[in-house]
Amino acid sequence: MKIQVLGSGCPKCKLLESSARDALTALGFAAEVEKVTDINDIMNFGVMMTPALVIDGKVKSIGKGLTKEQVIAILKEEKNE
């Protein structure tokens, strides 16, 4: 599993990255977490508002600083697909 957090480093971006890392720890999932800050890379995902959460190349959330619990729900859903 590969998780990418798209964003420039704003407070919501930092919250999302922290929540993603905390969610992985809580679930015991092994995953790479990558912070993507380059605007061209972000736009390649079709994202116009940050932060965004990308799991295995699929955009799962745009424009929200998700909580750990919200990221856990997304990860569990993704794992079951």
Whether 74 sits among the annotated catalytic residues: the reply is no
Can you give the pTM of this predicted structure? 0.93
Whether 13 sits among the annotated catalytic residues: the reply is yes
Question: Which one of the listed residues 3, 5, 13, 36 is annotated catalytic?
Answer: 13
Question: Which one of the listed residues 8, 9, 10, 79 is annotated catalytic?
Answer: 10
> With respect to CATH, is domain 2-80 assigned 3.20.20.80?
no
- Count of other CB atoms within 10 angstroms of residue 17: 21
Per-residue pLDDT tens for 10-41? 999 999 999 999 999 999 998 999 999 999 99
Does the structure show a pLDDT above 90 at 61? yes
Distance (Å, whole) CA 60 – CA 81: 13
